[in-house]
Structure 1
Amino acid sequence: MCNPLLSSPYYVRVAAILLVFLFVNSPICPAGFTCQDNERQALFQFKIGLKDPGNRLSSWDVSVTTDCCLWKGVSCDNRTGHVIGLDLHNDHNEHQHRYQEQSVSDDRWALGGELSPCLLAIEHLTTLDLSGNYFGNMLIPRFLGSFKQLATLRLSRAGFGGRIPHQLGNLLSLHQLDLSNNGHSLLLDDCWWLSNLTSLQHLDLSFVNFGIAANWLEALNALHSILEIRLSQCGLLNGIPSSFQHLNLTSLVTLDLSDNYSNSTLPTWLFDLKSLQNLFLRGNYFYGSIPASIGNMSSLTVLELSDRFSLRGSIPGALGNLCKLQQLDLTWSPLRQNLSDMKEIFSGCIKNSLTKLSLRGASLSGYLPEWIGDFQNLKILDLSMNSLSGKLPSSLGRLLSLQQLSLYGNELNGDVPETIGWLSELVILKLGLNSFKGGLSENFFANLTKLKNLGLSSTSLALNVRPDWKPLFRLEYINMSSCILGPQFPSWIKTQESLSSLHMYDVNISDSIPDWFWNFSSSLEFIDLSHNGIRGMLPDLSELADSKLTYVDLSCNLLEGTVPQFPKSISYLFLSNNSFSGLIPPGIHKTMPKLQYLFLSKNNLSGSIPLFPCNLEELIALDLSNNHLSGELPDCWKGSSNLQDLDFSQNEISGQIPISISHLTSLEHLILRGNRLSGGLPSSLDSCRAMVLLDLSYNQLSGEITWMDRSFSNLKFLNLRANMFSGNLPPLSQLNSLRILDLSRNNFSGNIPKSYGNLRAMSYSLNHVPSETASYSHVAMNLEINGFYIQFSNVLNLVAAIDLSKNHLLGPIPEELTDLYGLRFLNLSGNNLTGHIPDKINLLKVLEALDLSSNNLSGAIPPSFGQLNFLSYMNLSYNNLSGRIPISGQLSTFDSTIYVGNQGLCGIPLHECQDKVSIKDEAHLTSPEIWLHLSAELVMFMLLL
């Protein structure tokens, strides 16, 4: 609220006397009018309500100057002295992408706090700009609708939330309204107030949640003066209308409806906007075809139809007549056309105007035609991620204005033509993921002096240059992985002083890393030299001054010595599959405090695990597996930890699982396989509710497990193989996400719970795995199938398996297990199971491996086995099965070894079944008297026949 004392006559008189005194005693009087007294007071009160951590408004002080027109961000009418503009936008957030959602600013220069209604005293305000600040999800004040002369209102990226006040519809003089990028918490519940803004020319509501506002197009159609409408990522209710009558937006120049995920036909009314120059429709689910009427949009300069389109038919030839079109973006639009067949389209006047052509991921086939070199003004050509084949045409060398050439991810082959080296304006060259052959010489790069981004990965190209080559380009990004650069370390890298990202894995380097490498570029952030033969030791880099290095991958090399130290800036460090030895440095949390990922697996490290993981506040994943570590697990974990992945497997760690691990509430993967852990499984682990994978196999853990059913709702993979757990099998029926269960080689007893048939995630077939399941590229589980261990990592989510083998289980196989329709592997061997094999076994339609051997199962093999079309491994040996072996389906492909140890079985592939009744008596078998004398065994045999 405003202070009434400040508006009292007494205060005004005192302020006036003070003002005169200051002006009389000032050696230099300001020229022209100074700001009005009441407006200065209003600004001062407005400042009091603001939070200004960067002290940006330090000039708003009468001790500096009483003329508020000289205050930072304040502008006045030079005739009247009235304040007409208030520009307090935050310059420090302007690096944000225009369409990057920003609802929270962590910039120390951002203003915040409250917006005082005292601002209403500035009656002549025409411009108010608060963009780029952060007002803590505060409502946009209603009083802003009272500024009758306001022409520009910018509140973008300022952290406003809640409903947009309808009072903004009173701003009849408004020319520009920008409420964009406040996060989707800013809600537009009705659009009719927008129709009042008849003077509006520029409207940006990107990222505003339109909620129930279904009348947006009708409201905007009333804005006869509108030039620009941006409604990107607004969640437009009911999508974007396919048709609309009486369209009045005749002056519209720019329309952005991108990323609204509208699922409808391509709106026809768009092509009636004859004055439109810029049309952005990316990120929708439009289907249908592009109409020929697009040729009537003669003013069009930018057309973006990229992403998620399901277009039918070909691009209309009329598109080639858009003589002003400069940018055409059909990225990820499934055109399914042969590129060489599109000559008619691109032979029109469009070939003279286009500066950008992006058909990335557009399902194009065929070869790259010679006419592609006719686009004399083209600056960007992106044909990547298609199915283009054949050789590159030499005509590419005619694109002398080209700045970006992206052809990666195709099936192109042959040599890279030297004419590409003629493109002296080229900044980005991406040819990776193709089948090119041969090499690139120094002459090829001689004219590419402006090149900053070079992508040649997975092409098998060789770089044929002298060791002392000094290229004229200054690259910022290099990706030459799976090319041929070795065996020496490429010394020309030293000349790339602006390099920030270097990808050179699998390039046949068998040299050591030179000392100059670690500080040749002050911009270097990303290094991947993995999967080479790099040898030698690494220096101590912990004191590397001003380093920006955040990502280093040197895994799968021949590096040796102690674990190296890296600069404090490092966040991702991958050193697995080397020959590092000795102890793990205990002070890693001090030398590398920002570590998020640390992988040291498959080295020769020894000693105990230091306590540093407990003190790395940002640590997300730690992998120390496959070393020679001993001692006990750290018992220092804190509840504030962000740790998600912890892998200490295949070491020599002993002792018990520490209770403090239960504090890791974000833990998703805990892998302690192949150690010497003892004791029980702590029930406190049920606090780890985020757990997805728990692998404690091949240890010496013991005791009963009775608590697991009440937690681990996210658990997908559970492996307790080869321990000494006892008692009944643990209750698991509530683990609805579980897809792999391995409890084999323990001392569990009792029956298999019928509730295991309720493991819902195992009922998904291969084609219906839930979409929310993710890839697990750095974690793996082993399953034993037919005596072989198979490791699953990237395809973990595609596997559904149960292994309860080699325990002391009793009773029958629960028929409920046949409800697990997605089961691929089932192993119940080596127990004391009795009863029959369930007749409904055929319901497990995707079953690939079944092992029921070494039990006491009896009865016949159900004929339904023949319906298991994916069954590639089966073992029924050493049971008490009897009767004729069915020979249908996959059963006909197995040999006799899978049936041995079942004395009552007969038929192919075992010996022939012997009838126990002569042929002459067969006519009397239907007699009741005869049936009374048949044994039960013979009755079963006849029934099977």
Structure 2
Amino acid sequence: MRNTYSGWRIRLDFICIFLVALAHKCLGSGNLTTPSCPEQERLALLMFKHSVKEDHGMLSSWGLDNDIDCCKWARVNCDVSGSVVSLHLRGYANEDHHLVADEVSSCFTNLVNLKHLDLSGNNFRQSQIPKFIGETNALRYLNLSKAGFSGNIPPQIGNLSNLEALDVSSQFINDQLMTNDIEWISGLSKLEHLSLSRVNLSGVQNLDNVLYMIPSLSKLILSDCGLHMAQLSSRHLNSSRELASIKHVDLSGNDFRGQLHGLFLNMTSLAFLDLLWNNFSMPSSFENLLNMIPHVSELHLASCSIENINLSPINSNISKHSNIQHLYLQGNEIEGMFPSILINMSSLLSLDLSGNKFNSFIPVMPNLHKLDMSANNLRKSEDVGIWEQCHLKELIVSHNELEGNMIGPSTNVSKCSQNALEILYLSNNRLNGSIPESFGRLTNLLELDLSFNDFTGPIPEALGNLISLQRLDISNNQLTSSIPESLGRLTTFNRNVYEFKPVYRLHSSIPRKAHVVGNSFVVFKFVKWDHSKFNWKTHQTPSNRHFGQFFKRSGFRRPFC
């Protein structure tokens, strides 16, 4: 038995020695680590580094301490063979953290396996996009956006037959990046995402025909391109063909007027459409649009010269068949009463009607979660219907003409067994009297803004019941007395947006986390949430503007969507 065991052990030892020797021979010199990048590719990257100016260390690791393995350099990724496959060289021009050069170095053509190239946000000083970019045949992702290019987009980009995402957007319209012929796009048969924002396309003909040549296209962004309706109205268009892959279209800031072309009918999977800053002032344009985009769930029509007549339905059932969940109509000319076509859109979850001229009551829309009615002409606080909007989570009614006392459920019994409100903005109105104690019943509130009104009297103790409150602004009112003890017990301020620190302790009735100093100032020291880092700030505010001015000055504002 012992001899058998010894025999097997000798055989196993021999096999292990053989495998180690084989690995040594295959990988060379006993180096079992990932192969370093080829010399040609390393030199190409160093050539690019020497062709640009950068003062913030973006490329500081390239060639540092004679490191010959470019796969270990920052912003460089290699495949298992050691070949460079992606370069993440995005700059941040707004933060002055970017690369500067008079042109793009041709060294990229030596990176034969390069699949991902991002040069966005840099400054190539109004140079043209180089023609040789069309020779980097392995590219699947190319981002040259906001990089200071001008002139014509080279048609050679159409040679990148493996490309799946292309972004050549300009940062500014006056960068004068343009093209009069985009037939080259038809060579990008695998393209899924295309963005040409602020590229001058006003001379392009039959844009719609080109779209039919890219069967995989799902996201199209052509904002601020000087486009007009005729460019989407090819006479030779085969209306029976579908653009079934397109899900996201942004055509904002162009010169579309009146009725949209039937091209959108062929986008049978379209879910997102942005037509901001176009002109749809012709009667029934809105209804016509709804007929064309039955599957769209998010629609942006801000600043489109839409008036009441555009929202007067010819077919009263049209809005009931709409699938739109998020609708943005801010900055139009809608006035008076709430349009019935919107009330009947039962699919709506969020609705932005800010910057119009509404002056009537806000109807109850049971499925709606977010409503922005700021900057309208609403006058009566009861027309807002806070105590009837049981399902709303966000209600923004700032910058209206609301006046008089707020009416709470103590005098007008709430119709809601439980109110869902999380965000309530009533700032910049003319509301007066006391802040209703009934606000303390909105127990789901995360943010409450009552600033810039004419509220008087004490701060309600009931606000301390808002156990989830993260942001409170009651600045610029005429409130009196000290800050209630109950507000000092709200620990959500600490864990989320702001943290109060004691400065002075002059009155035992003042809560530990916020203090009145004499009769002239309230001093707050707090943490301001700034993306992923904290900034300490100290503010002094007049005592008749108790508790909250610091929120206004901090600049913190949760976006509507």
TM-score clears 0.5: yes
Matching of residues 1-80 of structure 1 within 5 Å: 29-31=32-34, 33-61=35-63, 63=65, 65-78=67-80, 80=81
In structure 2, the partner of 1:84 is 85
Q: CA deviation at 1:337?
A: 5.4
* CA deviation vs aligned residue, 1:42-93 (integer Å, no higher than 9, x gap): 2222222232322232332274643323322222332x43322222224xx4
Q: CA deviation at 1:510?
A: 13
Do the aligned residues in 2 keep the contact of 1:421 with 1:447 (CA within 8 Å)?
no
Change (3 A) 1:360 1:490: same
Do the aligned residues in 2 keep the contact of 1:172 with 1:199 (CA within 8 Å)?
yes
Matching of residues 809-820 of structure 1 within 5 Å: none
**Distance in structure 1 (CA, Å) of the matches to 2:289 and 2:253:** 24
Change (3 A) 1:429 1:511: farther
Helix, strand or coil: the match of 1:119?
helix
**Distance in structure 2 (CA, Å) of the matches to 1:222 and 1:239:** 20
**Distance in structure 2 (CA, Å) of the matches to 1:187 and 1:215:** 20
**Distance in structure 2 (CA, Å) of the matches to 1:417 and 1:244:** 58
**Distance in structure 1 (CA, Å) of the matches to 2:163 and 2:61:** 29
Return the letter of the residue paired with 2:279: Y
Normalised to the residue count of structure 2, the TM-score between the two structures is 0.72
In structure 2, the partner of 1:346 is 343
Return the letter of the residue paired with 1:205: L
Do the aligned residues in 2 keep the contact of 1:414 with 1:435 (CA within 8 Å)?
no
Do the aligned residues in 2 keep the contact of 1:446 with 1:472 (CA within 8 Å)?
no
In structure 2, the partner of 1:305 is 301
Do the aligned residues in 1 keep the contact of 2:443 with 2:466 (CA within 8 Å)?
no
In structure 1, the partner of 2:180 is 190
**Distance in structure 2 (CA, Å) of the matches to 1:242 and 1:459:** 53
1:251 pairs with 245, 251, 274, which one?
245
Matching of residues 393-432 of structure 1 within 5 Å: 393=385, 396-399=388-391, 402-406=393-397, 408-411=399-402, 415-418=406-409, 423=419, 426=422, 428-432=423-427
Return the letter of the residue paired with 2:100: G
Change (3 A) 1:335 1:468: closer
In structure 2, the partner of 1:523 is 528
The answer as to 2:96 corresponding to 1:112 is no
**Distance in structure 1 (CA, Å) of the matches to 2:321 and 2:55:** 52
**Distance in structure 2 (CA, Å) of the matches to 1:55 and 1:429:** 45
Return the letter of the residue paired with 1:381: L
* CA deviation vs aligned residue, 1:684-724 (integer Å, no higher than 9, x gap): xxxxxxxxxxxxxxxxxxxxxxxxxxxxxxxxxxxxxxxxx
Do the aligned residues in 2 keep the contact of 1:292 with 1:318 (CA within 8 Å)?
no
**Distance in structure 2 (CA, Å) of the matches to 1:37 and 1:234:** 43
In structure 2, the partner of 1:150 is 139
In structure 2, the partner of 1:513 is 520
The answer as to 2:304 corresponding to 1:280 is no
Q: CA deviation at 1:438?
A: 4.4
Change (3 A) 1:218 1:63: same
The answer as to 2:460 corresponding to 1:465 is yes
Matched residue pairs, number? 478
Helix, strand or coil: the match of 1:85?
strand
1:357 pairs with 343, 351, 355, which one?
351
Helix, strand or coil: the match of 1:520?
strand
Helix, strand or coil: the match of 2:446?
coil
**Distance in structure 2 (CA, Å) of the matches to 1:455 and 1:242:** 47
Helix, strand or coil: the match of 1:440?
coil
Change (3 A) 1:284 1:463: farther
Q: CA deviation at 1:227?
A: 1.0
User: Which gives a bigger RCO, structure 1 or 2 (Cα 8 Å, sep 6+)?
Assistant: 2
Do the aligned residues in 2 keep the contact of 1:361 with 1:385 (CA within 8 Å)?
yes
Do the aligned residues in 2 keep the contact of 1:172 with 1:196 (CA within 8 Å)?
yes
**Distance in structure 2 (CA, Å) of the matches to 1:154 and 1:54:** 21
Helix, strand or coil: the match of 2:134?
helix
Change (3 A) 1:270 1:399: farther
In structure 1, the partner of 2:259 is 266
Do the aligned residues in 1 keep the contact of 2:449 with 2:473 (CA within 8 Å)?
yes
Q: CA deviation at 1:330?
A: 1.2
**Distance in structure 2 (CA, Å) of the matches to 1:240 and 1:477:** 51
Change (3 A) 1:105 1:360: closer
Do the aligned residues in 2 keep the contact of 1:242 with 1:266 (CA within 8 Å)?
no
Helix, strand or coil: the match of 1:160?
coil
Q: CA deviation at 1:327?
A: 0.5
**Rg comparison, structure with higher value:** 1
* CA deviation vs aligned residue, 1:190-233 (integer Å, no higher than 9, x gap): 23233332322111122233364455444444333211111222
Do the aligned residues in 1 keep the contact of 2:408 with 2:436 (CA within 8 Å)?
no
Unmatched runs of 5 consecutive residues or more in structure 1: 1-19, 94-103, 501-508, 526-545, 558-569, 571-945
**Distance in structure 1 (CA, Å) of the matches to 2:105 and 2:48:** 5
Change (3 A) 1:477 1:322: farther
Q: CA deviation at 1:144?
A: 0.8
**Distance in structure 1 (CA, Å) of the matches to 2:212 and 2:319:** 30
**Distance in structure 1 (CA, Å) of the matches to 2:485 and 2:198:** 48
**Distance in structure 2 (CA, Å) of the matches to 1:146 and 1:177:** 15
In structure 2, the partner of 1:136 is 125
* CA deviation vs aligned residue, 1:913-944 (integer Å, no higher than 9, x gap): xxxxxxxxxxxxxxxxxxxxxxxxxxxxxxxx
* CA deviation vs aligned residue, 1:454-503 (integer Å, no higher than 9, x gap): 1443364655425996964555573643x331366889898867469xxx
Return the letter of the residue paired with 1:69: C
Do the aligned residues in 2 keep the contact of 1:105 with 1:134 (CA within 8 Å)?
no
Q: CA deviation at 1:187?
A: 1.3
Which range moved further: 282-291 or 212-221?
Answer: 212-221
Return the letter of the residue paired with 1:363: K
* CA deviation vs aligned residue, 1:153-190 (integer Å, no higher than 9, x gap): 01223333333223222222221111224322041132
Helix, strand or coil: the match of 2:327?
strand
Helix, strand or coil: the match of 2:311?
coil
Return the letter of the residue paired with 1:249: L
In structure 1, the partner of 2:360 is 366
* CA deviation vs aligned residue, 1:775-798 (integer Å, no higher than 9, x gap): xxxxxxxxxxxxxxxxxxxxxxxx
